[in-house]
Every structure is written in C-alpha cells, then in structure tokens.
C-alpha cells in the first residue's frame, strides 16, 4: 500500500479532530494536557494541545489561557494544516468572547470560518456558525445572529443531527423574540419543542424561551405555564444553576400581571439562589427587580439592604469586566506584537533574499564584463599579431624593392658611365678637331653612344614599369 502526502494529511487531520473533540469520559487535567503537548510527535498535534490548554484555563486563569493561545497562534501560522489553523481561531474567538471583547471574538470566528470553508472542513464549520450566532446575539445584532445560526441549522439538517437542529431552532426563535417578530419566534420555538420531545431531549431551555416569548407578547398565563415547565425540567435534570433564572422570570411575569405577592416570592427565591451559588449577574438582575418590589411594598430598609448588596455585585462585575478587558487587550497587544515581529522577520528575509539576488546579478554582470574584456583583449592581441605579420611582410617587401632599386641604380650608373665617358671624350675631340671630316666622324660616334644610352634608359624604364604593375596587382 502506497501512502502519499495527501493521505498522511488526512490521517493527521482526523487525529487532530479526535483530540479537539475528545469526550469527557476521563477527567482532563492541566498535567495530562501538558504531558500530551510535551510528548507530541509533530507540530500539528503540539498546536492542538496548546489550544486545549488555552481552553482549559478559560475560566481558571486567563493569563495562562492567553499564554498558551498566543503560542498556538504562532505555531499554527507555520503549519500547512487548515484544520489546526481554523481550530486555533475558534479557541481565540472563545477567549475574546469570555474576556469581554466580543468584536475581536467575531473577527477571530470569521477568520477561522473562512479557512474552514475555503478548505472544505465541514466538521468544524458549524462550531463557528453557532458561536457567531451566540456572540452576535450577545451584542444585540440579532439579524446577524439569525443569519449564522440558520447556516449552522442547514448543516445540522444535512447530517441529520436532531439535537443540534433543535438547539438551532431554539436560538433562532429566541432571537426573533428579541427583534419583535412573534410569529417567526413561535414557529422556530415550536419546531425546537417538537424535535426535542421526539428525541426525548432536555426541554428546559425551550420552555424558558417560550415563557420569555409569551411574556413579551403579554400572554402571562402561557408564560407562567412554560416557566413552570422549565422548572420541572431543571429539577429533573439537576440543573440547579439555572433555577434562579427561571424564578426571576416567574417573578417578572407575576409583577407585570399585578400579582405582587407571587412576584415577591419568586424574585426572593431567585435572589437567594443567586447568592447561594455566587451567580454574580443573576444576583444583580434579581436584586434590581427585588428592590423595586420592596419599594412598592414600602419595605424601605430591606430595599436599601438589597440595594447595597446589588452595588457590591456591580462593583465586582465592573472589576471583573475591567480585568477581563485588560487581559483581552494584553492578549491582543501580544498578538499584534507577535504578528508585527513575524512581519518584520518576513520582510527582513525578503530583503535579504532580494539583496542576495541583486548581489548575485551584480557579480554575474562583473564576471560577464571581465569575460568580454578578456575576449576583447584576446581579439586585440590577435589583430596586433596580424598587423605585426603584415608589417613584417610589408617591411620585407620594401627591403626587397629597395634592394632591387639599389641594384638598378648600380647597374644604371655603371652601364651609363661608359657611353657617357665616350660622349665626353668625343665632345672634347670635336673641340680640338679642325677637319670637318673628322668632326663628322666624331658626331657619328656621338650619335651611336647616345643611342646606347637611350637603349639603356628604355630598358631601365621598362623594368621599373613592370615592377610597378606587379606591386599594384598584389
């Protein structure tokens, strides 16, 4: 069996998915997660363990959570595994949402969702859609919340996951209640209720949303009915931390329905339950309603006592929010700093690469220039040698010509010398002869010698012309 790189990536991605979505059959501890991180066999698995360590410390130690998530982000950018990158963004988005920075959380979710969609990672995509719906709902952007929750619902319908479908119906219905669309709210809430009943799932959250919906439509009897149904579900499933919220809902309904005694009873229960479990936000909300009811009932002293407790919780919330926002800002600052450092490193590497390319090109140009100069020098040397040979040939030819000219001059001077001497002698005789006959003989001899000189000159000129023709020919 041949295992190619694509198959290895699929196997590794599947293993990472198992790590990310591992069940809670065994108790997960920081030591076990850190041990898994230290013993991981490759960078992808190490990054997954860094993310799980970050999630583990969400509500235990946000500084530690920020530390591990920062390392996870840094490591994920070096990887070529889209699932690990998208899962890292999911964890970072959760961190921002928990630390009171939902806007940065939404940005992280959208980045991770984009990676998941671009690479066809359907397994993690619904988590982004669900978290985007919840986060948009928290900041009051209900239209966006409905949009992304519906996208997640489409996926759950596709894979036929009834529980997640019912949760999506429930969340969409709650958002329609908040934007004042009662018909759409009832449609989705009833769909959630029917599906949960069919699958025998927990109904408390649907009952609570239905009660909240009917409270907003002033149908107080139906609201009270569903709040009581929700209470039964809470008790049946042991969800004691949610009882106070239902009590507060009942108190608000009874108060709106002009039933102050019942309202006081349930709001007190909500306030006591919140204090017993140290539920800060519920304590503040229930204290606010309880204070109004006590003032209306002229229980001024108790109202002020409750108001003091509410202020203490508000101070606690303000401090916690400030701390979370500060930690979120520190985390974001560290991330931006790390991204800037990575960008600087990339730019330095790119500059170094470009500089090396320029230096290499410059060196190559210098080598080519030296080669051309050398070839030019060789060519000049060859031309010089050719010229030297030609000059030597020309010099030899001139020397030969000069030798011939010297020879001609020698021959002419010696050849012409005898007739000239004879002519001079004859001229001298003519000067001394008295006899005409002797003079005529002398003139005849003079003519003969002159003919000889003329012959010699003709011969010499003929030789010079032949030599000139021969030179022009070559």
Q: Could you state, in order of their start, the residue ranges of all structural domains in the chain?
A: 239-334, 354-473
Model pLDDT, residue 148: 93
The answer for residues whose C-beta is within 8 angstroms of residue 230's C-beta and 6 or more apart is 203, 204, 205, 207, 208, 211, 246
341 vs 133, higher pLDDT: 133
225 vs 423, higher pLDDT: 225
Model pLDDT, residue 63: 78
Model pLDDT, residue 377: 84
Report the pLDDT averaged over residues 97-113.
87
Report the pLDDT averaged over residues 157-179.
91
pLDDT band of residue 82 (cuts 50, 70, 90) is confident
Report the pLDDT averaged over residues 316-343.
68
Report the pLDDT averaged over residues 205-229.
93
* d(C-alpha 218, C-alpha 216), whole Å: 5
164: exposed, middle or buried (C-beta count within 10 Å: 0-12, 13-18, 19+)?
A: middle
* d(C-alpha 402, C-alpha 396), whole Å: 10
Q: pTM above the 0.75 mark?
A: no
The answer for residues whose C-beta is within 8 angstroms of residue 162's C-beta and 6 or more apart is 195, 198, 199, 201
Report the pLDDT averaged over residues 130-135.
92
Whether residue 292 is predicted with pLDDT greater than 80 in this model: the reply is yes
- Identify the architecture of domain 354-473 in CATH: Orthogonal Bundle (1.10)
Whether residue 217 is predicted with pLDDT greater than 50 in this model: the reply is yes
Report the pLDDT averaged over residues 311-338.
70
* d(C-alpha 147, C-alpha 263), whole Å: 36
Model pLDDT, residue 22: 46
Reference 47, options 76, 90, 19; nearest CA is 76
Model pLDDT, residue 43: 82
Range of lowest pLDDT (25-39, 166-180, 315-329, 341-355): 315-329
* d(C-alpha 389, C-alpha 392), whole Å: 5
Model pLDDT, residue 467: 64
What is the SS3 string spanning 381-444? HHHHHHHHHHHHHHHHHHHHHHHHHHHHHHHHHHHHHHHHHHHHHHHHHHHHCCCHHHHHHHHH
Model pLDDT, residue 16: 45
Tokens of 111: 């980045």
Whether residue 191 is predicted with pLDDT greater than 90 in this model: the reply is yes
146-157 tens-digit pLDDT: 999 999 999 889
Model pLDDT, residue 249: 92
Task: Output the CA torsion 32→34→35→38 (10° steps).
Answer: 160
454-473 tens-digit pLDDT: 887 777 777 666 666 666 55
- SS3 assignment, position 124: coil
pLDDT band of residue 225 (cuts 50, 70, 90) is very high
Answer for the pair 62, 321: CB distance below 8 angstroms, yes or no. Answer: no
Model pLDDT, residue 106: 92
Model pLDDT, residue 332: 63
Model pLDDT, residue 331: 63
Model pLDDT, residue 388: 82
Model pLDDT, residue 252: 92
pLDDT band of residue 60 (cuts 50, 70, 90) is confident
Whether residue 306 is predicted with pLDDT greater than 90 in this model: the reply is no
Model pLDDT, residue 396: 83
Report the pLDDT averaged over residues 371-378.
86
Whether residue 313 is predicted with pLDDT greater than 90 in this model: the reply is no
pLDDT band of residue 4 (cuts 50, 70, 90) is very low
Question: Considering the chain, what is the average pLDDT of its residues?
Answer: 82
| DSSP-H helix ranges across 3-59 | 5-20, 30-38, 43-56
In the numeric block, the tokens 């239905």 are attached to 210
Report the pLDDT averaged over residues 263-268.
92
Report the pLDDT averaged over residues 412-440.
75
pLDDT band of residue 3 (cuts 50, 70, 90) is very low
The answer for residues whose C-beta is within 8 angstroms of residue 84's C-beta and 6 or more apart is 13, 16, 44, 47, 48, 76
Q: What is the CA radius of gyration of the chain?
A: 57
Model pLDDT, residue 145: 93
Model pLDDT, residue 15: 41
Model pLDDT, residue 176: 94
CATH class of the domain at 239-334: mainly alpha
């Amino acid at each position: 069996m041949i295992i190619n790189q694509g198959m290895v990536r699929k196997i590794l991605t599947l293993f990472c998915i198992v790590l990310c979505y591992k069940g809670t059959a065994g108790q997960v501890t920081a030591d076990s997660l850190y041990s898994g991180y230290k013993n991981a066999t490759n960078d992808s698995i190490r990054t997954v363990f860094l993310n799980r360590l970050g999630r583990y410390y969400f509500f235990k130690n946000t500084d530690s959570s920020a530390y591990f998530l920062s390392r996870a982000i840094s490591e994920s950018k070096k990887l070529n595994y889209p699932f690990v990158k998208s899962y890292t963004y999911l964890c970072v988005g959760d961190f921002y949402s928990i630390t009171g920075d939902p806007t940065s959380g939404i940005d992280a979710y959208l980045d991770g969702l984009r990676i998941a969609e671009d690479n066809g990672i359907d397994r993690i995509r619904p988590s982004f859609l669900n978290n985007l719906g919840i986060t948009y709902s928290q900041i009051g952007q209900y239209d966006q919340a409905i949009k992304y929750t519906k996208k997640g619902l489409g996926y759950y319908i596709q894979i036929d996951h009834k529980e997640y479908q019912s949760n999506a119906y429930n969340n969409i219905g709650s958002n329609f209640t908040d934007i004042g669309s009662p018909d759409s709210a009832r449609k989705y809430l009833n769909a959630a209720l029917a599906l949960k009943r069919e699958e025998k799932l927990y109904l408390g959250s649907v009952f609570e949303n239905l009660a909240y919906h009917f409270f907003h439509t002033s149908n107080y009897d139906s609201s009270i009915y569903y709040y009581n149904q929700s209470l039964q579900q809470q008790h049946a499933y042991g969800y004691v931390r949610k009882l106070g919220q239902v009590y507060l809902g009942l108190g608000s309904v009874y108060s709106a329905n002009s039933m102050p005694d019942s309202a006081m009873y349930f709001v007190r229960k909500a306030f006591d339950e919140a204090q017993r479990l140290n539920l800060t936000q519920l304590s503040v909300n229930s204290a606010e309603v309880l204070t109004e009811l006590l003032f209306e009932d002229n229980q001024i002293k108790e109202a002020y006592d409750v108001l003091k407790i509410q202020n203490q919780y508000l101070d606690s919330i303000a401090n916690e929010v400030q701390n979370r926002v500060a930690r979120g800002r520190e985390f974001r600052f560290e991330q931006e700093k790390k991204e800037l450092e990575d960008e600087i490193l990339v730019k330095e590497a790119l500059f170094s690469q470009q500089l090396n390319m320029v230096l290499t090109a410059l060196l190559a140009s210098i080598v080519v220039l030296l080669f051309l100069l050398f070839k030019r020098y060789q060519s000049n040397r060859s031309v010089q040698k050719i010229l030297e040979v030609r000059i030597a040939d020309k010099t030899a030819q001139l020397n030969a010509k000069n030798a011939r000219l010297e020879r001609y001059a020698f021959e002419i001077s010696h050849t012409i010398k005898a007739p000239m001497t004879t002519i001079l002698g004859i001229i001298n005789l003519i000067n001394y002869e008295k006899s005409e006959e002797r003079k005529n003989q002398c003139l005849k001899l003079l003519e003969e010698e002159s003919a000889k000189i003329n012959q010699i000159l003709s011969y010499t000129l003929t030789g010079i012309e032949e030599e000139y023709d021969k030179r022009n020919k070559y």
